[in-house]
Amino acid sequence: MTESGYRARRREQRQQYRWFWILLAAPGILWLLFLFIVPFYAMLAIAGGKLNLIFEQPIAIWNPLQWSSANLVKAWHDVAGAGAFDGPIVLRTIVYVAIASALSLVIAYPVAYFVARFGGRRKGLLLVLLIAPFWISYMMRMLAWIDLLQINGYVNKALALVGLPPVGWLGGLSFTVILGLVYGYIPYLILVLYAGLDRIDPALIEAGRDLGLGRARTFIRVTLPMSRQAILTGLLITVLPMLGDYFTNQLLSGTTSTTMIGNVIDGQLQTPAFQAEGAVLSLMLLLVLTIPMIYYVFATNRSSRSAT
């Protein structure tokens, strides 16, 4: 076959395949279009929109050239200006999420490590047990904590058994909110860590041991670096929803001393005249969340390049 004939056939083949791939990608593209791009644009249109003074509802402005910056300015003043009430809340949210994700990692890693390395024949069973919390909705799991932590709940009853006074766990303690966050999102972290740790070739660990490293040093020099990607993914998966979480706080505290940014957005979306400002804050949050996302993409690319 001549060179040009070969090329023509390849082109033809590619044409055919192209349609195949487009068809295959269609559901995903449609999903992204209708459930992400369109709602996202609607949010932008509301954030840049006005307030209908008769019905007291936000008016979406669809033409970007006519977007007003009034809501953005208002939201920014609430975050950073004088008399800004959102500022301390942003800081608190970051501190809560940082502590909660660090705690989650400390708890989740050994669990995932144990299942992946020592699960043996029971790996399946252990995994099912780990996934079990997913069978119950997040909300129900939080409500269960209320039963445990309320003033005449089981935790205080247990404290009374050893002669300790009851604690107002649900009285607006940071501890309780952080505990709720850890409890709520840790299964995601465990699963991701498990998937990462399970993929590490045991031969590499054995090699480390054969080369004279102790257990601890094998872990630090071999296992830990190899699970870096899993840690990063897992943290990303837990940090993102934690930052936007409002329900945990609403159920386990409900006081102003533990308000997180998600609560502010939730509150604004429920107050008609503040819906546009709520949209701005949601977009700001989204913008902040893209930073770790971008870092994650770069880190993944780097590690896959170094692997090949």
Partner 1 sequence: MHPREGWSEDGSRRPGLSRRSFLRGSAGAGLVAGGLGPLLAACSGGGAGSTGGSGTTTIPLPRPNHPVTWPIFADNKAIKSGLKAEQGNTLKLYNWVAYINPQSLKNFAKKYNVPVPQVTTFNTMSEAMAKLRSGQVNFDIFFPTIDVMGQLVEGKLAQPINHSYIPNISQAWPDFTDPFYDGHWRYTVPYTIYTTGIAWRKDKVPENPYTMANPWAMPWQAKYKGKVAILDDYRESVSLGLMKNGIFDLNTTSQSQIAAAGKSLQQLSSMTNVHIDNNDYTEVPSGQIWIHHAWSGDMAAAPAYLPKGVSPDVLGYWFPTDGKGPVGNDTIAILKGANSPVLAHLFLNYMLDLPNALTNISYTGYMQPLTAVTPQRLVSEGMLDKNLMSTAVLPSYFRRGVMELQLPVPTDVLWQQTWQTVSHGA
Q: Under the rule (CB under 8 A), what is the footprint of partner 1?
A: 38-40, 42-43, 45-46, 50-60, 78, 83, 85-86, 88-89, 137-139, 142-143, 150-152, 168, 170-172, 240-241, 243-247, 250-251, 254-257, 259, 263-275, 278-279, 282, 285-286, 289
C-beta separation of 165 from 221 below 8 A: no
178-214 CB burial, b ≥16 within 10 A, e <16: bbbbbbbbbbbbbbbbbebbbebeeeebeebeeeebe
The amino acid present at 186, given as its one-letter code, is I
C-beta separation of 206 from 223 below 8 A: no
- Output the smallest distance, CB 84 to partner 1, in A: 9
- Taking the least distance from each CB to partner 1, the nearer of 150 and 223 is 150
- Taking the least distance from each CB to partner 1, the nearer of 156 and 218 is 156
- Taking the least distance from each CB to partner 1, the nearer of 51 and 103 is 51
- Output the smallest distance, CB 242 to partner 1, in A: 9
- Output the smallest distance, CB 170 to partner 1, in A: 6
Which tokens hold the place of 196?
């990462």
- Taking the least distance from each CB to partner 1, the nearer of 59 and 125 is 59
- Output the smallest distance, CB 254 to partner 1, in A: 4
- Output the smallest distance, CB 25 to partner 1, in A: 23
Degrees, nearest 5: CA angle 111-137-32: 95
The amino acid present at 175, given as its one-letter code, is F
- Taking the least distance from each CB to partner 1, the nearer of 222 and 264 is 264
C-beta separation of 72 from 86 below 8 A: no
- Output the smallest distance, CB 294 to partner 1, in A: 16
Which tokens hold the place of 12?
């033809």
- Taking the least distance from each CB to partner 1, the nearer of 197 and 265 is 265
Q: Which residues contact 17 (CB under 8 A, 6 or more apart)?
A: none
